[in-house]
Chains A and B, each alone.
Chain A
Amino acid sequence: MNIKDVENLAELARLELSEEEKREILKDMEGILEYVKQIEEIKVPNMKVDYTLYNAWREDLPEPNGHKRSSFSPELILEQFPDSQDGFLKVKKIL
């Protein structure tokens, strides 16, 4: 791993890093990867991860206006928007 790899990962993860942070993280990552690399020694022939999958989701249930079925608070959700206008979330332009 090198500084370029750290930069690429930070770009993918949408994280801004200073030059110093990049160097620190590289050092930390090398230590951690050195430790986790020990799993390379293990042989796990044909270890099949075999689970029965089933659908854990239910169908959507429409909530008529004024009938609150869930315990979510729309007010609390709206209140958290860092930037909003007329009850809509305001974001920076994407085009």
Chain B
Amino acid sequence: MIDLKNLTIEKAHTALKNGEYTCQELVEAYLKVIEEKNPELNAYLEVYDDVLAQADEADKKFKDGTATTLTGIPFAIKDNILFQGHIASAGSKILENYKASYDATVIKDLKKVGAVLLGRTNMDEFAMGSSTQTSAYGVTKNPLDLSRVPGGSSGGSAAALAGGLTLAALGTETCGSVREPSAFCGLVGLKPTYGAVSRQGIIAMGNSLDQVSPFGKCVQDTEIIFNLLSRYDEKDSTSVPNRLRNPKSKKNSKKIGVPWHLFKEGVENGVQENFKQSLEKLKKAGYEIVDIKLPHSKYSLAAYYIIMPAEVSTNLSRFDGIRYGYNAKAKNLLELYKKSRAEGFGREARRRILLGSYVLSHGYYDAYYNKAVQVREKIKEEVMQAFEEVDYILTPTAPMTAFKLGEKLDDPVAMYLCDIFSAPANLSGVPSLALPSGISSEGLPFSIQFMAPHFREDLLFEVGKKFEEIK
């Protein structure tokens, strides 16, 4: 029996290298858990039919000596990442039968090292949501408490990893879609620097914000995945070339800035308490904690809910029922567009398409979209300024712990507020790491998140590993 519960990527790699078990056996162990638990959790929408063949290829790599750390490591893949020949539906009815015609760059890179792609995981439709309740394929449950949400939008990947249905998982972030489910499921989640990991082959939501983001059971797992996937990709026009990846400053003075004014209110007491305790632990470990002010960052989520829908309305215009995807019966072309989109998109997607059309329309463009873009610049500027003084910015990951299934569905703004602390990192493009920081009296995980300057993921891994030791 393989001890899946305490398995990490490094441990699995050592075991595979030493021949304690094969990739085939490791994958079979996970398939067994999936068979047992997935019907209830609904973490995977599909387990790929070629999983054992992939494991076989990985075993060959161990035999011929070309195996690397991620060879044979099982991955769960969010349903908006293209894997050639396999369905990628983005949790939407409009792409129910869409088969990817090429591999996303991240999939190519995982295939190259022989990682095993187990299956595609449930998500909020087109990654629009914070609880994986807007998927056209049903809700995903939190494996730690089946009456609660796993967070979202990458909730399927989070539930798969936290429930022991995979060893590693990929999600995507536009605003908190990996960090918030990490928080709700007790995982580590890394939102990389914008432009670090290729977006090619990712079904886009907000192009200026989206990043593929790894989940891990520990900091080191996310680091291993990030190190493989972070590279310049000529096929992504916003991928950052190597010459621009060197951070300006290499300093690390162990100084953590806390923007207290951002979470004076609207944060659950338990979360607030846990955050203070986490700060004490960091202080004891030799970190200096300073109060910082980010006056414009309190408008982050408002600016985000203008910029993102604007990009959504543009991105989702390509789903028209003509070349692929859901195609409604209709009398003429216009009716075909309207019906295919009406029947294919769920409520949240429709809402954001219309909101985006509104903020971009004549007469409102300056007041909403243009203003939001300027506010975003201001937020970026103040975050960069803060990093002249401190190495890290620390906040709670989410203002609450995992909530009950069915909650917040009737109140879009209440749902959006789950990501209030996520927005500054996504808008300014800096990396951010969510870390488990304790357990509530109800048995639910708490989480804190560090932000660091652009391309200083190394700092995040360093402080993250330290925090794992002292928490």
Query: Residues of A at under 8 Å CB distance from B?
Result: 1, 5-6, 9-10, 12-17, 21, 24-25, 28-29, 31-40, 42, 44, 47, 49, 56-58, 70-74, 76-77, 79-83, 89, 91-94
Q: Which of A17, A36, A47, A82 contacts B374 (CB 8 A)?
A: A47
Contacting pair B322 A35 (CB below 8 A): no
Q: How far is the CB of B364 from chain A (nearest CB, A)?
A: 10
Q: Does B371 contact A (CB under 8 A)?
A: yes
- In the complex, the answer to whether A9 meets B361 with C-beta atoms within 8 Å is yes
In chain B between 325 and 381, which residues have their CB closer than 8 angstroms to a CB of chain A? 325, 327, 330, 332-334, 336-339, 341-342, 345, 347, 350-351, 353-355, 357-358, 361, 367-368, 371-375, 377-378
What 13 new A-B contacts, CB under 8 Å, besides A6-B354, A92-B333?
A: A9-B357, A10-B354, A15-B354, A29-B355, A31-B412, A39-B302, A39-B303, A39-B372, A42-B371, A71-B84, A83-B327, A89-B322, A92-B332
Stretch at the interface among B97-105, B158-166, B436-444, B452-460: B97-105
In the complex, the answer to whether A58 meets B234 with C-beta atoms within 8 Å is yes
Best-surrounded residue of A33, A36, A77, A89 (most CB of chain B within 10 A)? A36
> Which residues of A sit under 8 angstroms from B330, Cβ to Cβ?
92
Q: CA–CA, A70 to B200, complex, Å?
A: 14
Smallest CB separation, A54 vs chain B (Å): 10
> A5 CB to closest chain B CB, in angstroms?
8
A36 touches B368 (CB 8 A): yes
- B374 pairs with A44, CB closer than 8 A: yes
Partner of B323, one of A6, A37, A89: A89
Interface size class, chain B: 35 or more
Which of B84, B302, B351, B371 touches A73 (beta carbons < 8 Å)? B84
Residues of chain B having any CB pair with chain A under 8 Å: 84-85, 97-103, 108, 234, 237-238, 296, 299, 302-303, 305-306, 313, 317, 320-325, 327, 330, 332-334, 336-339, 341-342, 345, 347, 350-351, 353-355, 357-358, 361, 367-368, 371-375, 377-378, 411-413, 416
A sample of 29 inter-chain contacts (CB < 8 A) reads A5-B358, A13-B317, A14-B337, A14-B338, A14-B341, A16-B339, A17-B342, A21-B350, A24-B347, A28-B412, A32-B355, A32-B412, A35-B302, A36-B306, A39-B368, A39-B375, A40-B367, A42-B378, A47-B378, A49-B377, A56-B237, A57-B237, A80-B101, A80-B324, A81-B323, A82-B327, A83-B327, A92-B332, A93-B332
Least CB distance, A13 to chain B, in whole angstroms: 5
Q: How far is the CB of A33 from chain B (nearest CB, A)?
A: 8
Contact yes or no, A82 B302, CB < 8 A:
no
Alpha-carbon distance A24/B84, docked complex (angstroms): 38
Q: Are B333 and A82 in contact (CB under 8 A)?
A: no
Given known pairs A16-B342, A28-B351, A56-B237, the reply for A77 and B299 (CB within 8 Å) is: no
- Contact A40–B371 (Cβ < 8 Å): yes
Chain A residues with CB under 8 A of B101: 72-74, 76-77, 80
Residues of B within 8 A of A25 (CB): 350-351, 354
B341 touches A44 (CB 8 A): no
Chain B residues with CB under 8 A of A16: 338-339, 341-342
CB contact under 8 A between A92 and B324, given known A29-B355, A39-B302: no
Tell which of B303, B322, B327, B345 has the most Cβ of chain A within 10 Å.
B322
Chain A hits for B320, CB < 8 A:
14
Question: Shortest 4 CB-CB distances between A and B: which pairs?
Answer: A82-B327, A80-B324, A56-B237, A16-B342
Contacts of B367 in A (CB 8 A): 40
A23: shortest Cβ distance to chain B, in Å? 13
Docked Cα-Cα span, A85 to B186, in Å, equals: 52
- Whether B102 pairs with A72 at a CB distance below 8 angstroms is yes
CA distance A92 to B102 in the complex (A): 28
Chain A residues contacting B332 (CB-CB under 8 Å) are 92-93
Taking the nearest CB of chain A, how far is it from the CB of B390, in angstroms?
24
Distance in angstroms between the alpha carbons of A79 and B101 in the assembled complex: 10
Contact A71 B333 (CB under 8 A): no
Give chain B residues whose Cβ lies under 8 Å from the Cβ of A58: 234
Among residues of B, the one whose C-beta sits closest to the C-beta of A83 is B327
